[in-house]
């Protein structure tokens, strides 16, 4: 994932931030920058684990959405809503899954405007194998403990809720 730096660039940026904008501005900047960097690191780790299955993490998410759905089929629009991505992204994801033989497209039986994506038997096999690999790698979250992960999930959930990402039903 590139050359290991002999220093923490986010801490260094925090030092410069403190000098220019004051101590109170450092925690938000370093937290957000850290989250964004960890996002990059996680995607690289996860994509490496998924590569033997001819998947990217984005394709894995779409495949798992179908795998876990009641019927194994969902309209493309619903996939976009559930994954919170643009319709063009859904089309590209399903195109890739279809090329790999993991998903098929078909007209919706009751809505002529909609198209269904349906997981294939091969798609189910790949989803199961890829999930085994992801679980074995703890979804790339090493070295965090279960308590750390629970705390992180709780913290990020509060931000997602505040941003209107979902309605709190609990």
The secondary structure of 28-71 as a DSSP string is HHHHHHHHHHHHHHHHHHHHHHHGGGT--HHHHHHHHHHHHSSS
Query: What is the third-level CATH fold of 31-140?
Result: Arc Repressor Mutant, subunit A (1.10.10)
pLDDT for residue 103: 98
The per-residue pLDDT string of the chain (170 residues; one tens digit each, 9 = 90 and over) reads 678 999 999 999 999 999 999 999 999 999 999 999 999 999 999 999 999 999 999 999 999 999 999 999 999 999 999 999 999 999 999 999 999 999 999 998 888 888 999 999 999 999 999 999 999 999 999 999 999 999 999 999 999 999 999 988 76
- Nearest by Cα to 79 from 118, 132, 40: 118
- Quick one: tokens of 170? 């609990």
pLDDT for residue 170: 63
């Amino acid at each position: 994932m590139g050359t290991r730096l002999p220093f923490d660039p986010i801490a260094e940026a925090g030092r410069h931030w403190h000098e220019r904008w004051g101590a109170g501005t450092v925690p938000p900047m370093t937290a957000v920058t850290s989250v964004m960097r960890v996002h990059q690191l996680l995607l690289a780790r996860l994509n490496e684990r998924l590569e033997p299955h001819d998947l990217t993490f984005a394709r894995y998410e779409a495949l798992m959405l179908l795998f876990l759905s009641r019927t194994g089929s969902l309209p493309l629009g619903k996939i976009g809503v559930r994954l919170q991505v643009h319709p063009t992204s859904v089309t590209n994801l399903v195109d890739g899954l279809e090329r790999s033989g993991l998903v098929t497209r078909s007209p919706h039986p009751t809505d002529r405007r909609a198209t269904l994506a349906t997981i294939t038997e091969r798609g189910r096999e790949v989803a199961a194998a890829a999930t085994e690999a992801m679980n074995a790698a703890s979804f790339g979250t090493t070295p965090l403990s279960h308590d750390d992960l629970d705390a992180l999930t709780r913290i990020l959930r509060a931000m997602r809720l505040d941003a209107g990402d979902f309605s709190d039903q609990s």
